[in-house]
Structure 1
Amino acid sequence: MARFHGLIPPVPTIVDEKNQIDTEGTKVVIDQLIDEGVNGLLFLGTLGEFTQLSMDERKKVAEIAIELVDGRVPVIIGTGSTNTREAIRLSSHSETIGADGIIVINPYYTPLSEEHLLYHYESIGNTIGLPLLLYNFPAFTGQDLNPNFIKKLVEKVPTIAGIKDTVESVAHIREVLLQVKKEHQDFSVFCGYDDHLLPTLTAGGDGGICASGNFVPHLALGLLEAFKNQDFQQMVEYHQRLLTIPQIYNLDTPFANVIKEAMKLSGMEIPAHVLPPARSLTESKKTELIEVLQGIELFSVK
């Protein structure tokens, strides 16, 4: 079995009205998700608003996460940066505090040649002993990690343990599975979009690192269980409900505010503040969110 598998929610960074890390709110999220039965937790990914945090703040979030999870589930920390030296420092910090793995998005803003991109990942992976997951999100980075390149990386850097593939086309995930996982069975392949979970599993993938895992984890967990039990009817029912979720991500950009509001609506007692330049969801968009969630009957919204 791959080192990481199942549902690993990409946990938002919980902050108060003064943009300070909210430890109590973070504890609420962690405890509830672990109680729901998730297979791990990822911090400081896109929903973790890592680009709006200083290096010291990122270290603080990682430290709080490790302390509060307390070994109950695997913890993966996002350590990506446009700066290779910073990514190495953040990765080293994660290793020192006891993270189970790191996830590294490719540098954004300036596209890199394959040679430079290889050097970036080799520099991190050959310095740090932790399992490293690649994070492919071309819509945000402007540069795709194509399957051929991923295969080269896996063969050159032994610590690379998997990928979160946040792509519009399931074909990309399929090619990663065919070209990489077919030869490296312990390489974990996760989808980033909720509606790709079933196709990823049926093609031989390992699970999802999906935003909905923060507010309706029972849907992805139910699908995973139905897949394991080969319960076709249940698989289809969970898949059809997951298909409807991505429409809420269009309510705002970036959408961390949408997810935090959805978490509050699901019953989590947390603040929904986000870090600047983003702002909290407007009242009109909150109304739209409620209408969508009610329409697809994810849970009872008051």
Structure 2
Amino acid sequence: MKLSGLWPALLTPLTEDGAIDHPALTSLVEDLVTRGIDGVVPLGSTGEFTEFDARERRAILQTVIAAIDHRVPVLAGVSGLSTVETCEHARVAAEVGADAALVLPPMYWKVSDDRIFDHFVSVADATDLPVVAYDFPGLTAQPLTPALLQRLAVEEPRVIGAKLTVRDVMAVTAALAATRPFRSDFSIVTGFEDLIPAAMWAGADGAISGMANVVPDELVALVNAIEEGKPDSADRHRAVMADFDVYGLSAPAIPGIKAAAAALGRIPCATWRLDAGPKASVLDAAAAWAAVRKPSSQRKDAA
């Protein structure tokens, strides 16, 4: 499996009472596939992976994998609080048919690079799935250093790349410099859409995007334009950046993204697990955000 192009980090639609909305998840996946995405990532940060028990995580993966039906790869988020828990989630992902595993470093404790390296090796040992290392220091406070990424690239062929959800493009270029001379096939993708052009022009392979749940066409067009060297890449990036404020609708960002997706009709309901649902102010802000992004006929229908 090659990690490249545009991969939506899937939302997990919920009903108003907080249950997993499997029909809505199926519909979201089907819509994204028809728009030309290159793979999907269930149970990442955008998918609220921390809020589901093992049974629910299995069910979410089963729904996504059935909906995909082998048309694009499924990179399953398998992260847990400990290495043991993460390995168990990885085994389930392999059992239900995922194509690869997305893995954060151990959470809670701050540990050495050697310990993080062993964590990724243990997850790789747990199944036959390729592993993608997930760097999100803004939430884990445990960055994956260039030296660690280099060691993974050199010593562990089952780790096929890294997702870097980092605010500084220099972290992306440092990761590329640390890995590409040793593994030309070691993928680096960004987790922030504003960095897509700079990261890809530096040699990164694409993006895993939460925004792709709400504006997939703009992001597919941007990544394709950069891959193909089209002269309209800057225009495509400006279109994406016009929507980037979706991340500012709430803190954390997931309720706002869900509210925006619901306002656009992409999911039925904005419920998320950390409370009963987005506050009225978030719903109002998302409705205003979505109103200027709907096609004119859709705005007229809504009126």
TM-score, with normalisation over the residues of structure 2? 0.92
Give matches, 1:197-216, under 5 Å.
Answer: 197-216=196-215
- Structure 2 residue 119 is the aligned partner of structure 1 residue 116: no
Q: Say whether the 8 Å CA contact 1:165–1:189 is kept in structure 2.
A: yes
Matches within 5 A, 1:81-160: 81-160=80-159
Task: Map 1:1-302 onto structure 2 (within 5 A).
Answer: 3-232=2-231, 234-275=232-273, 277-293=274-290, 297=293
SS in structure 2 opposite 1:264? helix
Q: Closer, same or farther in 2 for the Cα pair 1:292/1:267, shift >3 Å?
A: closer
Residue by residue, what CA displacement relative to the aligned partner does 1:71-95 show, whole Å, maximum 9, x if unpaired? 1111111001121111111111111
- In structure 1, distance between residues paired with 2:203 and 2:192: 16
The Cα shift of 1:213 comes to: 0.8
Amino acid at match of 1:202: W
Displacement after TM superposition at 1:299 (Å): 5.6
Q: CA separation in 2, counterparts of 1:261 and 1:65?
A: 21
What is the SS of the residue equivalent to 1:88? helix
Preserved CA contact (<8 Å) 1:257 1:279: no
Q: Verify the 8 A CA contact 2:82 2:107 in the aligned structure 1.
A: no
Give the deviation of 1:286 after TM superposition.
2.5
> By how many angstroms is 1:128 displaced?
2.0
Q: 1:293 to 1:169 in 2, by over 3 A?
A: farther
Identity, in percent, stands at 27
Q: Deviations over 1:125-149 (max 9, x none)?
A: 1332111111110010011111111
Structure 1 length-normalised TM: 0.92
Report if aligned partners of 2:163, 2:191 keep a CA contact under 8 Å in 1.
yes
Aligned residues: 298
User: Hey, which bits of structure 1, 4+ residues long, moved more than 6 A?
Assistant: none
Secondary structure (helix, strand or coil) at the match of 1:190 reads strand
Q: RMSD of the TM alignment (CA)?
A: 1.8
Please give the alpha-carbon distance, in whole angstroms, between the structure 2 residues aligned to 1:299 and 1:78: 33
Instruction: Give the distance between the partners of 2:180 and 2:235, measured in 1 at CA.
Output: 28
How much has 1:53 moved relative to structure 2?
0.9
Report the CA distance between 1:50 and its aligned residue.
0.9
Maintained 8 Å contact 2:164/2:188: yes
- Alpha-carbon deviation of 1:294? 5.3
Structure 1 letter corresponding to 2:26: K
Look up the SS of the partner of 2:252 in the other structure: coil
Q: Is contact 2:13-2:267 (8 Å) kept?
A: no
Q: What residue ranges of structure 2 are gaps of 5+ in the alignment?
A: none
Contact 2:117 2:152 in 1 (8 A): yes
Alignment check: 8 A CA contact 1:165 1:173 kept: yes
Please report how far the alpha carbon of residue 293 of structure 1 lies from its aligned counterpart in structure 2 after TM superposition: 4.8
- 8 Å contact from structure 1 (residues 25, 271) kept in 2: no
Q: Distance in 1 between matches of 2:233 and 2:255?
A: 29
